[in-house]
A and B are shown apart, each in its own frame.
Chain A
């Protein structure tokens, strides 16, 4: 029982990060109908920026070994992601208004390659580390209830907490503020939103900025765990089955989908892994998403897709 709970909690914690990245996908899709294949590249780019700025900035300003240097690096990397978001809207999306879904998808693929290229030119292409001072030691919880307690990885726990708080804040922002309401309006009906004076371009910049912020947080968390290297951009694509599962248009779907995938991966690895051989964690999420796709093409929470004729 204790072991099962440990696995479950581990899954939920990993799932929270998927949920965060999936939220980035969903916001962009809702606002502009674009499936953003560049999300993975954005994670890599943000992590690279963070790793290198955390190295450079303390050097420039004599802040070695202080949290101030790390914080400054985070802020600068965040600002850079906002610039990237703005450029993407300016140089790409603005010119593709009302184009077909496939065209937009190709455009984001292009953005992904360009970002990866610029990233390695600006920041180098070796393997870097990010150290934001996350505690690495495990803790034991509920020692009174389970013999030996539950083993929880403190780093994962803090990461999940940060992700959860960010998801909560973003959801609040989009529910409670004027800009959030404008975004929901755009998501519902582009044409009507524009006709009442909601500027599409500004909304797009905002959702890409959010996606950039999400990418940065995910990049820092995954980067400090796995190291910053090229493969980081594929880790983010693990959120792909999450949005298929949860539904591309649903914010709650992204969150719940993330948790389901996180838990599913961990449980399947532990309990099914020995039977079917290792590596199940890699493909389990996709199989789950495919199964859902067969029965509910719009995902668990997505809006029904109705073809207008």
Chain B
């Protein structure tokens, strides 16, 4: 393995989140190391998506803090998270339906764009050159994900499995250092799952991207992740490498007791 797992890059401390009376997360702490693949698992409604949403600031936890590369964030928001190199996909695909694949991926370059509004409005040299540079980057992502054949297709017309892949592409176009994936393989057939697995491993391996992954398919999770956090009813019931987690009695009973 070429990648080397590094120091803690993201540290969550005693995070609690509730919606009105519903406690989605209770006192959760865990960390993520640089270059690792970190999985979050648990039955439906366990709080996995809420956890990702807290990390990139979509939800603001009532308690706890997020420490990213040593910097403390009590008020994270999605824009700040993006600036800090965190990109993500959504459980319910949130692509820009009216645009084609290339445009969707191009939006992922937004933070890297330097030309100003006036230059863009007049289609000025720097703006145009920049557009071409970003376009080249986007084409790299398209090649990487093997979606050349659908480059110009409006994403709304793509089958579900490909939409998931484009969603990953948009996140990759940001060249993130941390990638959050919310059930990237849900609803896919076996072949699509294998492809997605390969892409995730390649991203991690080739670009050294740290990955936080929510996934239901136990075989997949145990196969590709370095460490696993297990949530149940908003509480953390297990944390460790796949073998430890598999042997954890609380995890076994949560999985036997609940359908997922």
Known: A184-B99, A191-B58, A198-B107. A177 touches B174 (CB 8 A): no
Closest to A201 in B: B79
Closest to A198 in B: B110
Residues of B near A185 (CB, < 8 A) are 96, 99, 107, 110
B158-199 vs A: 1/0 string, CB under 8 Å?
000000000000110010000000000000000000000000
Interface residues of B in 24-70 (CB under 8 A from A): 56, 58
Residues of B near A206 (CB, < 8 A) are 117
- B157 at the A interface (CB under 8 A): no
Interface residues of B in 98-148 (CB under 8 A from A): 98-99, 103, 106-108, 110-111, 113, 115, 117, 120-121, 123, 127, 131
A188-205 vs B: 1/0 string, CB under 8 Å?
110111111111100000
- B150 at the A interface (CB under 8 A): no
Most buried by A among B95, B120, B170, B174: B120
In this complex, how many residues of chain B approach chain A with their Cβ under 8 Å: the count is 34
Q: Which listed residue (B58, B107, B123) contacts A196, Cβ 8 A?
A: B107
Residues of A near B78 (CB, < 8 A) are 191, 194-195
Please determine whether B94 and A192 come into contact, CB atoms closer than 8 angstroms: yes
- B81 at the A interface (CB under 8 A): yes
Q: How far is the CB of A157 from chain B (nearest CB, A)?
A: 27
Known: A176-B123, A182-B110. A188 touches B99 (CB 8 A): yes
Interface residues of A in 186-234 (CB under 8 A from B): 187-189, 191-200, 206
Q: How far is the CA of A187 from the CA of B96 in the complex (A)?
A: 9
Most buried by B among A179, A181, A182, A198: A181
Most buried by A among B79, B95, B103, B111: B79
Known: A185-B107, A188-B97, A192-B96. A178 touches B56 (CB 8 A): no
Q: How far is the CA of A76 from the CA of B216 in the complex (A)?
A: 60
Known: A191-B58, A199-B79. A179 touches B120 (CB 8 A): yes
- B90 at the A interface (CB under 8 A): yes
Q: How far is the CA of A198 from the CA of B174 in the complex (A)?
A: 11
Please determine whether A195 and B120 come into contact, CB atoms closer than 8 angstroms: no
- A67 at the B interface (CB under 8 A): no
Q: Which listed residue (A176, A188, A195) contacts B58, Cβ 8 A?
A: A195
Q: How far is the CA of A297 from the CA of B96 in the complex (A)?
A: 23
Q: How far is the CA of A179 from the CA of B96 in the complex (A)?
A: 15
- B82 at the A interface (CB under 8 A): yes
- B88 at the A interface (CB under 8 A): yes
- A4 at the B interface (CB under 8 A): no
Residues of A near B98 (CB, < 8 A) are 184, 187-188
- A173 at the B interface (CB under 8 A): yes
Please list the 5 inter-chain residue pairs (A to B) with the smallest Cβ-Cβ separation, ordered nearest first. A197-B82, A197-B111, A192-B94, A188-B96, A177-B120
Since A178-B106, A194-B82 are in contact, a sample of 19 more A-B pairs with Cβ atoms closer than 8 Å, ordered by chain A residue number, is A176-B123, A177-B121, A180-B120, A181-B107, A182-B107, A185-B110, A188-B95, A188-B97, A189-B96, A192-B95, A192-B96, A194-B79, A195-B58, A196-B110, A196-B174, A197-B79, A197-B83, A197-B111, A197-B174
6 residue pairs of the A-B complex, CB under 8 angstroms, read A178-B106, A185-B99, A196-B107, A196-B108, A196-B171, A197-B110
